Chain A
Amino acid sequence: MSLPTSTSDLAPEWGRCLAACLGALGIGALLLLAFMIVVDPYDSGKFGLLGIDGVDDRDTHTATASRARDARFDSAVIGNSTAQMLDPAELSRATGLRFVQLYLTGGSPREQLAVLDFFMRNHQRVGALVFITDPWWCAHDRAEPAPGRFPYWLYGKSSLAYAARLISWPAIEHASQRISIGFGLRKRTDPDGFFSYEDIWLPGTFRETNRPRDPALAVTAAGRDIFPEVSQLDDVIKKLPASVPVVLLVPPTFYTTVAIPGTAEGVEREACDAALRRVVAGRPHSNFINYRIDNALTRDPANFADFIHYRPSIAARMVEGIAASFQLGQAARIDF
């Protein structure tokens, strides 16, 4: 068995073949890239010449970029699906600001920080920020990101890294959706990003799933106060003008998953709460609220879809707490 060998010396014809092959590859790639740059399939703001408004995308990892740079909003809710039920329209009504929902399904703190960075780069004036800090924020080790899980290239500063990712089937699909929006053949998804999971997890049902993923206990007492991602959030918040209100929330979970004070888990929780509280300490109109407590509301399964996803009844209380915090800061009375 051997490779095919040349039986004729047809160099000019083979030269034409080579030119045809490389020409088709090169010209095809250039045309495709040019099309992508003109359309900007993810509405990232890095490219795009057609002025198409928004995306039709239910994948929060990619759709959030379009929302995060939308000039109609000046304030943001950032978190993962435990932030999803906070209705930005309700928050806007309660605070007078213009809120957009920037939750990432299954989003890790590192990913949420990437979204925050992108939001701040695209808004010269930030109205307010609400951060939903679920247990992942309390990890003592900064986990390496899983490759390919989150499109950091979409939220990063580099246009080149973004352009390199535009030669892909999903990008082509997104581009065709954007073209359809441009021609009025398809509606864009709601710009404020609110999507109630009650459409899927119907009211009145409680599934014993999604236990909160509390991080591993610190190995040493000294390590208990180290929260790398909270520190990173602190660095970012410190760069914001003091006039920008920031509220950090620990989302409520079903009471059986609340750490009991005095236990090792309880001590860990208190250490993380203290670290989060320090991020907004002294900042006007800002607050830290821990909703992960054992009370009548968190004992009622009707208030939860599962262990970590709360219903609108609790979300409404949280909106009230956020609005009160924006007015009175840490002196706000939290009714929960």
Chain B
Amino acid sequence: MLFNDYPFLLVFLPAAILIYRLADPHPRLRIWTLVLLSLAFYGYGNPPFVPLLVLSILINWLAALAYVRTKATIVITTAIVANLAVLALFKYANFLAYNVGLVLGRPMPVLDIALPLGISFFTFHHIMYLVDLRKGKAPTYSLDRYALYIAFFPQALAGPLARWSQVMQQFGRQVYAPGWQREFCLGISFIAMGLFEKLFLADRIGQIINPVYAQAQLGPVTNGDAWLALSFNFQILFDFAGYSDIAIGLGLLFGVRLPVNFNAPFRSTSIQDFWQRWHITLMLFLRDYVFNPLVNTRILPRRFFPVQYFFAMMLTMALCGLWHGASWTFVLWGILHGCALVLCSLWRRYGPRLPSLLGWVLTVIFVLVTGVIFRAGTLDVAWHIFQGLAIPPNLERWRHLLPIFIVPLMAFLLPASQDIIELLTRRPRPWLAALVGIGLLALLVDLGERNVYEFAYFNF
């Protein structure tokens, strides 16, 4: 079920709010109600994977209990390896088989399996909890609470990657307590903002650039439109930021404050700054559960620590790329960003201070250019786009492509959506709320005219 579709917005969400309203006065029903609603959400159009999700919850929860009883770290290690193995099977098996086939010079059998929605996200949720449990930071939880941590429908498919410590204590709280009206106003504002970002910004850019990438699959883009392909990063920003804002808004309607995921990344003045503002929850996960362990483990002699540090940085970003999909273009994209982070670190230590404006320009150019590799799917397609950049853009035609100018300007100039919403909701203003209602109606009208575009991060 998609957040930007009528079945969700007009049927599931109102029904879920109503059902939860009935459960809210009964503390013992609250969490289970949300768990069942989340499984219904996950199962819509995707029923074969519900048992996988349920099994995943049960096995990891039992592993946590077993570890607490026995203190055998092998239990946690086995559970983490099993989680990664399931993720690898669904997401990387065919990629691996294809590459092994290339090495051996004969094609390997292809597994006919679909990627379960959200598997990357719920696998990481399990890992965050299990690692912290082993470190003694996390307690054990009841099955219903753990199940909701994994399956909570606003975040189950594409995050934000909330830490257990951020949400566990929020589950089961009374939603309709004094002050709930403000939380609902906030939640609706986030949902409206997210839908606006998705429908009016991301999808508009997508409509313009998708034909360019399709053209690049056939050969070099020689009509000057290759420049349009550079705007992919604006599309994915507003696509995923839009998704994250809707998720945050939905969380608020059910009494859970999810962490924010974006903080105006196109206002970054360095690549380090960029990665502190882009997909924040994933980067915090990678920092704490991949990068820090790699850096803090004694692998090389102390005097080679900088080498180990930068290697850890590169490896983390390469894995970040691979996490987005089973393709060498994702790995290359990650490695390029890893190189940029290393270079940026070295520059900060040894180079002169860059003016902010120059830093911003370099960061934006780097992100947009590497975004082409991310989107292209194959190196050939990316190369066809880059070849096309030798031809000047056809500005006469671009006059009719307003989103190409407006959307980047919004990315450059506007603050993060949570800051805009904070500004607008500092005090209650019914006239503004009525405008948001009319805006929501306009968004629903916009949804009615066309096919629904899936959120990009559902594929990762």
Which of A's residues lie within 8 Å of B, judged by CB? 1-4, 6-11, 13-26, 28-29, 32, 147-148, 164-172
Beta-carbon contact of B433 and A20 below 8 Å: yes
Q: Does more than half of chain B's interface fall in helix, strand or loop, or is it mixed?
A: helix
Which residues on A sit within 8 Å (CB–CB) of B179?
6, 9, 11, 14
How far apart are the CA atoms of A148 and B453 in the complex, in Å?
Answer: 11
Of the candidates A8, A28, A166, A172, the one having the most CB atoms from chain B within 10 angstroms of its own CB is: A28
How far apart are the CA atoms of A6 and B444 in the complex, in Å?
Answer: 29
Closest to B190 in A: A3
Beta-carbon contact of B441 and A32 below 8 Å: yes
Q: Report which of B178, B259, B450 forms a contact with A11, defined as CB distance below 8 A.
A: B178
Which residues on A sit within 8 Å (CB–CB) of B430?
13, 16-17, 19-20
How far apart are the CA atoms of A22 and B14 in the complex, in Å?
Answer: 12
Beta-carbon contact of B437 and A24 below 8 Å: yes
Which residues on A sit within 8 Å (CB–CB) of B260?
1-3
B427 beta carbon closer than 8 Å to chain A: yes
Given A164-B6, A168-B448, answer yes or no on A20-B418 (Cβ-Cβ < 8 Å): no
Beta-carbon contact of A13 and B428 below 8 Å: yes
> Top 4 A-B pairs ranked by shortest CB distance?
A24-B437, A168-B448, A13-B428, A148-B451
Which residues on A sit within 8 Å (CB–CB) of B441?
24-25, 28-29, 32
Beta-carbon contact of A3 and B451 below 8 Å: no
Beta-carbon contact of A171 and B448 below 8 Å: yes
How far apart are the CA atoms of A20 and B422 in the complex, in Å?
Answer: 19
B312-344 interface mask toward A, CB cutoff 8 Å, 1 = contact, 0 = none?
000000000000000000000000000000000
How far apart are the CA atoms of A16 and B437 in the complex, in Å?
Answer: 13
Which residues on A sit within 8 Å (CB–CB) of B257?
2-3
Beta-carbon contact of B449 and A169 below 8 Å: yes
Which residues on B sit within 8 Å (CB–CB) of A32?
441, 445
How far apart are the CA atoms of A274 and B211 in the complex, in Å?
Answer: 41
8 contacts between A and B (CB under 8 A): A1-B418, A6-B183, A16-B433, A17-B430, A17-B432, A18-B433, A24-B434, A169-B445
B436 beta carbon closer than 8 Å to chain A: yes
How far apart are the CA atoms of A172 and B432 in the complex, in Å?
Answer: 25
B421-441 interface mask toward A, CB cutoff 8 Å, 1 = contact, 0 = none?
110011111111111111011
Given A14-B181, A24-B438, A25-B441, answer yes or no on A3-B448 (Cβ-Cβ < 8 Å): no
Q: Report which of A1, A4, A23, A24 forms a contact with B280, defined as CB distance below 8 A.
A: A1
Beta-carbon contact of B418 and A168 below 8 Å: no
Of the candidates B425, B441, B446, the one having the most CB atoms from chain A within 10 angstroms of its own CB is: B441
How far apart are the CA atoms of A61 and B186 in the complex, in Å?
Answer: 41
Which residues on A sit within 8 Å (CB–CB) of B446?
168-169
Beta-carbon contact of B438 and A14 below 8 Å: no
In the complex, besides A1-B418, A4-B426, 17 extra interface pairs with C-beta distance below 8 angstroms are A3-B260, A7-B426, A10-B427, A11-B179, A14-B179, A16-B430, A21-B437, A24-B435, A24-B438, A25-B441, A29-B444, A167-B448, A168-B448, A168-B449, A169-B445, A169-B448, A171-B448
Q: Report which of A9, A26, A170 forms a contact with B449, defined as CB distance below 8 A.
A: A170
Which residues on A sit within 8 Å (CB–CB) of B435?
24
B177-189 interface mask toward A, CB cutoff 8 Å, 1 = contact, 0 = none?
0110111111010
Which residues on B sit within 8 Å (CB–CB) of A166?
448
Give B179-207 interface residues, CB cut-off 8 Å to A. 179, 181-186, 188
Beta-carbon contact of A4 and B418 below 8 Å: yes
| Total contacts A-B at CB 8 Å | 121
Beta-carbon contact of B437 and A22 below 8 Å: yes
Beta-carbon contact of B444 and A21 below 8 Å: no
B263 beta carbon closer than 8 Å to chain A: yes
Which residues on B sit within 8 Å (CB–CB) of A170?
449
Closest to A9 in B: B179
Q: Report which of A7, A9, A18, A25 forms a contact with B184, defined as CB distance below 8 A.
A: A18
Closest to B441 in A: A28
Given A1-B418, A148-B450, answer yes or no on A167-B444 (Cβ-Cβ < 8 Å): yes
B424 CB, min distance to chain A CBs, angstroms: 9
Given A3-B186, A3-B257, A28-B441, answer yes or no on A17-B428 (Cβ-Cβ < 8 Å): yes
Q: Report which of A3, A10, A165 forms a contact with B418, defined as CB distance below 8 A.
A: A3
B294 beta carbon closer than 8 Å to chain A: no
Given A3-B248, A16-B428, answer yes or no on A21-B445 (Cβ-Cβ < 8 Å): no
Beta-carbon contact of B428 and A14 below 8 Å: yes
B23 beta carbon closer than 8 Å to chain A: no
B416 beta carbon closer than 8 Å to chain A: yes
Which residues on B sit within 8 Å (CB–CB) of A8?
427
Given A4-B425, A28-B441, A170-B449, answer yes or no on A11-B181 (Cβ-Cβ < 8 Å): yes
B134 CB, min distance to chain A CBs, angstroms: 28
Closest to A166 in B: B448
How far apart are the CA atoms of A168 and B452 in the complex, in Å?
Answer: 13
How far apart are the CA atoms of A20 and B181 in the complex, in Å?
Answer: 12
Q: Report which of A4, A20, A148 forms a contact with B431, defined as CB distance below 8 A.
A: A20
Q: Report which of B178, B186, B438 forms a contact with A28, defined as CB distance below 8 A.
A: B438
Closest to B6 in A: A164
Beta-carbon contact of A17 and B185 below 8 Å: yes
Which residues on A sit within 8 Å (CB–CB) of B248?
3
Give B192-235 interface residues, CB cut-off 8 Å to A. none
Which residues on B sit within 8 Å (CB–CB) of A2?
257, 259-260, 418
Beta-carbon contact of B418 and A23 below 8 Å: no
Closest to A170 in B: B449
